[in-house]
Amino acid sequence: MNSLEENKNQKSWAFKISSFFESPIFIIVFLFLVLWYFYSLLFGERSISALISAESKKQELIDEYNKLQEANQKLQKKYFELIQLTPEVDAF
């Protein structure tokens, strides 16, 4: 008799769990969580749009770095030319 009651209790728990997953409240909450996840994936702080903007910013910074490096080379060249033109002063 005990095993029959346990089996019946197990079936009732299984029925309660399955009916919970089929309930409209669970479905609404589940859909809300899934939509929230995809929204944060697309538009959040760590989203695809943030990744794309970071990559474009990286390219801008690389271009600026190259321009500054070229300007620095030109200025160094002028500096060394000026140093060679000025006479050296001997200190006693």
pLDDT along the chain (92 residues), means of 10: 56 64 83 90 78 92 97 93 74 55
Written as six digits, the tokens of 26 are 């669970």
Q: Domain total for the chain?
A: 2
Domain with 55, as residue range(s), is 47-86
Q: What is the pTM for the complete model shown?
A: 0.47
Q: Residue 88 is which amino acid? A: E
Q: Would residue 92 count as lying in a domain?
A: no
Instruction: Give residue-wise pLDDT tens across range 22-44.
Output: 778 888 989 999 999 888 887 77
Residues 55 and 81 in one domain: yes
Q: Measured between alpha carbons, how far is 28 from 33 in angstroms, rounded to an integer?
A: 9
Q: Would residue 91 count as lying in a domain?
A: no
Q: Are 30 and 38 in contact (CB under 8 A)?
A: no
